[in-house]
Structure 1
Amino acid sequence: MNKAFFAVCVAAAMPACAHAQSSVTLYGIVDEGISYFSNAATTAANGSVSGHSAVRLLSGVMQQSRWGLRGSEDLGGGLKTIFVLENGFDASTGKAGQGGLLSGKKAFVGMSTPFGTVTLGRQYDTNVDILGPMIAGGQWGGYMAAHPGDLDNFNNTNSTNNAIKFTSNSYGGLTVAGMFSLGGVAGNFARNRIWSVSAGYVTGAVSLGAGYLSVENPNTSFFGSTGSPAPTVNGVPGNNMLSPVYSGYASARSMSVIGAAAAYTIGSATVGAVYSNTRFDDLGDLSSGPNPLGLSGSKSLNNGELNFRYQISPALLWGFAYNYTKGSSIEGRTGAAYHQFGTGVDYLLSKRTDVYLIGVYQKATGTDSTGKPAVAAINGPSASSDDKQAVVRIGLRHKF
């Protein structure tokens, strides 16, 4: 009888032991606050554009509001199965983000090994992982302090579908990562294909990063990766590239981004520099997107950022950044230039809750990608009606 009792106890314990080797975690962020725009463009019924100040309740500025599930199962021998399902949402209205996709931010499954991690699904390109944390927007400024229109995607405006990604473990401070996204078009392996490679190095006070992103048919494959891409008109895909910084380049057959960043920490202060070159090649491909100006050849945007961060106390952070963007000439006219200044303060009320204040000012000159006089294009929901714009944001963020 004692033996039978022991056998029953062992059998009952086995599922509990197996369960102890796996875990599932519910997590999320709710980011909400009030934003003031000094000059938000509005379009009248007759098509005229004017600018007015506006105050809006906006969600997800410092970080997009989201909730998700992540889990792992220990397979032994240093192997783990992992997964992440992450949904973005608008806390102001309750609507799902990313065009209503159920797991619009991330949706992947993969394997963690002693050498690194392999994941498959909807993910961030490797520049977002390596270079994104080194820009002002990834530290204290949120998407409003990102580069104009987030032209290099370092602030992750666009996720990548159908992606296979490898991220190595850190070896002496060095991490390397590569991603390949299958285009999925029968008979045309290159169409909609996306790939990236990046490397980061951290040692003591120094952080370095570099990366390259290549995108085929960017208007449909990259900018159109939400659940509600612009509709096709007369066989030509609609324009998913909304920012005037690059919306005139929707007919590009390919796009590439080269980026590099460096940061140096001295005590409580960190100084950083970021550079990117975003290039749109083979303009005029109407199977990629519209081309109202009849552009051809290649256009590029060079972007440089200097940022500074100071940890005043364990709970209080202050940051400042200057960003300069210069575009190619358009139809023989001087290309657009954008001067952007940003500052922000972040105060921790607890380990999970903080309040923050962000201010961004931008001045634009020249001719933008649409062939019109450049307007200020602070990254976010509302461009300016003219060449200047300021935005002030006070927000509350809670992580769970």
Structure 2
Amino acid sequence: MKKTLILAGVLGAFAMSAHAQSSVTLYGSLDAGIVYANNAGGHSLWAQGSGAMSNNYFGLKGAEDLGGGLKAIFTLESGFNLNNGGYKNGDNGFNRQAFVGLQSDQYGALTLGRQYDSMNQYLAPLSEAGLGFGNNLAGHPFDNDNFAQSFSTKNAVKYSSANYAGFQFGGMYGFSNEADGFANSRAWSAGASYNNGPLNVAAGYLQLNNSGNYGGNLNGAASADQNISARLQRSFGVGANYTYGPAQVGFVWSHSQIDGLQSLGSGGMNLAGISGLNLHLDNYEINGAYHLTPALAFVGSYTFTDGTVTGTGTGDQSPKWHTVVLGTDYSLSKRTDVYLAGVYQHASGSLGVQNGAAVANVAAINTLSPSTTNNQVAATIGLRHRF
């Protein structure tokens, strides 16, 4: 009788443990290489690169089974500079993501904390700069649509639906966290995607009030990691890609409406003469990939960015950028690969006003300091490991 009770107790404890299964996973991405640029802030550059292709980060994510298809989930994720081991942009702690929430197999997930917006979640993976390709150098000028994950949103509540026969959707709201300004420094976004075999389509929208370090206020949803500080920033777009055997081709269009600029930069260097101006940008990107073998892939993209600047007092300006990216990637294993990539950007028109005269537009490849001319060439070779 006693043995029977002991056995029943052990089996009951095992059943309770199985019912409340939990897991914690350590994950991350490490990307280092050598970067060359013909003109970065007026000088040629040879440097050890950190995250030239993919962002460097590590994180913890976990889930606890609550039963009935419901889980408690969390993610803590920190970006850092692989060269010196410091936090990304001098920020502290979990500067990419830090959230907790509930996930239902039937209804989706509701999470609270610091998170990436819905446009980045659904539309960005179809871009060369998004997670689908993982090439930060291919980011659109100033990463104006955040496809390269320049920033995440603080104080955010986010909903992501379950997968309904390939269709997914979601939305996010980032609170201002200010007692006297509900709409000040807030953010909100929405997005959707549909995956049906070889075809992927997606759309997204993002709005930021007082983005970046606008007015020196970072208590709300804004992030200091942004290349753009403005009174109002809206980005939206659509995209699609199609896979046929070893080949994939895609198109992405995004529009960014940036009003009341305070600062605009790339690679930690801000452009002059743009304070108070309005910048509207349309990015038209064609991208593709071809797997010559399961381990060897070739990727490329061309992006035409058409801009309009108003509020100059000297007439509207029309800055433009042409960006061409070519690269190859060889997988040494499922987690480790080596890459070689080159980028060429040509700029035209004018952007900004100084001493009453228009300022000539300059090339500014994403993650690099702007050129002092209208052309910029960059190349990188490196090693990437994911765990």
TM range (shorter): 0.7 to 0.9
Q: Residues 65 and 15 from structure 1, CA distance in 2 versus in 1: closer, same or farther, beyond 3 angstroms?
A: farther
Residue of structure 2 equivalent to 1:56: 47
Q: Residues 144 and 181 from structure 1, CA distance in 2 versus in 1: closer, same or farther, beyond 3 angstroms?
A: same
Residue of structure 1 equivalent to 2:287: 307
Q: Secondary structure at the match of 2:213?
A: helix
Q: Residues 159 and 224 from structure 1, CA distance in 2 versus in 1: closer, same or farther, beyond 3 angstroms?
A: farther
Q: Secondary structure at the match of 1:91?
A: coil
Q: Secondary structure at the match of 2:129?
A: helix
CA contact (8 A) 2:128 2:138 kept: yes
Deviations for 1:176-221, whole angstroms, at most 9, x for unmatched residues?
0100011111122111110001010111221111111111111337
Separation (CA, whole Å) in 2 of partners of 1:321 and 1:15: 53
Residue of structure 1 equivalent to 2:345: 362
Separation (CA, whole Å) in 1 of partners of 2:261 and 2:166: 40
Separation (CA, whole Å) in 2 of partners of 1:178 and 1:57: 38
Aligned AA for 2:111? T
Residue of structure 1 equivalent to 2:267: none
Residue of structure 2 equivalent to 1:156: 149
Q: Residues 323 and 292 from structure 1, CA distance in 2 versus in 1: closer, same or farther, beyond 3 angstroms?
A: closer
Separation (CA, whole Å) in 2 of partners of 1:8 and 1:173: 44
Match status 1:372 vs 2:359: yes
1:1-400 aligned within 5 A: 2-3=2-3, 6=6, 10=10, 13=13, 17=17, 21-41=21-41, 51-113=42-104, 114-138=106-130, 139-140=132-133, 142-220=135-213, 242=227, 250=229, 252-281=230-259, 295=276, 298-329=278-309, 330=312, 331-332=314-315, 334-369=317-352, 371-400=358-387
Separation (CA, whole Å) in 2 of partners of 1:23 and 1:223: 40
Aligned AA for 2:53? M
Separation (CA, whole Å) in 2 of partners of 1:92 and 1:224: 30
Q: CA deviation at 1:334?
A: 3.1
TM-score if structure 1 supplies the norm length? 0.85
Q: Where do 5+ consecutive residues of structure 2 fail to align? A: 263-271
CA contact (8 A) 2:150 2:226 kept: no
Separation (CA, whole Å) in 1 of partners of 2:184 and 2:16: 48
Q: Secondary structure at the match of 1:278?
A: strand
Q: CA deviation at 1:52?
A: 2.1
Separation (CA, whole Å) in 1 of partners of 2:85 and 2:34: 16
Separation (CA, whole Å) in 1 of partners of 2:323 and 2:189: 27
Q: Residues 95 and 4 from structure 1, CA distance in 2 versus in 1: closer, same or farther, beyond 3 angstroms?
A: same
Q: CA deviation at 1:99?
A: 2.7
Q: Secondary structure at the match of 2:81?
A: coil
Q: CA deviation at 1:172?
A: 2.0
Separation (CA, whole Å) in 2 of partners of 1:225 and 1:346: 38
Q: CA RMSD in A?
A: 3.0
Separation (CA, whole Å) in 1 of partners of 2:231 and 2:214: 11
TM-score if structure 2 supplies the norm length? 0.87
Alignment coverage as a number of residue pairs = 370
- State the identity as a percent: 42
Moved more, 105-114 or 273-282: 273-282
Q: Residues 154 and 100 from structure 1, CA distance in 2 versus in 1: closer, same or farther, beyond 3 angstroms?
A: same
Q: Secondary structure at the match of 1:108?
A: strand
Q: Secondary structure at the match of 2:63?
A: strand
Separation (CA, whole Å) in 2 of partners of 1:101 and 1:385: 32
Q: Residues 205 and 5 from structure 1, CA distance in 2 versus in 1: closer, same or farther, beyond 3 angstroms?
A: closer
CA contact (8 A) 1:160 1:222 kept: no
Residue of structure 1 equivalent to 2:268: none
Separation (CA, whole Å) in 2 of partners of 1:346 and 1:280: 35
- Structure showing the higher strand proportion among its residues: 2
Q: CA deviation at 1:153?
A: 0.7
Deviations for 1:363-400, whole angstroms, at most 9, x for unmatched residues?
11111246521111000132212111111011101111
Deviations for 1:104-145, whole angstroms, at most 9, x for unmatched residues?
111000110121011110000011111111101223351111
Q: CA deviation at 1:161?
A: 0.2
CA contact (8 A) 2:150 2:225 kept: no
Separation (CA, whole Å) in 1 of partners of 2:18 and 2:244: 47
Q: Where do 5+ consecutive residues of structure 1 fail to align? A: 42-50, 231-238, 285-290
Separation (CA, whole Å) in 2 of partners of 1:223 and 1:320: 38
Separation (CA, whole Å) in 1 of partners of 2:119 and 2:225: 21
Separation (CA, whole Å) in 2 of partners of 1:19 and 1:357: 47
Q: Secondary structure at the match of 1:195?
A: strand
Deviations for 1:18-72, whole angstroms, at most 9, x for unmatched residues?
696011111121111111111111xxxxxxxxx2221110111222111111100
CA contact (8 A) 2:97 2:115 kept: yes
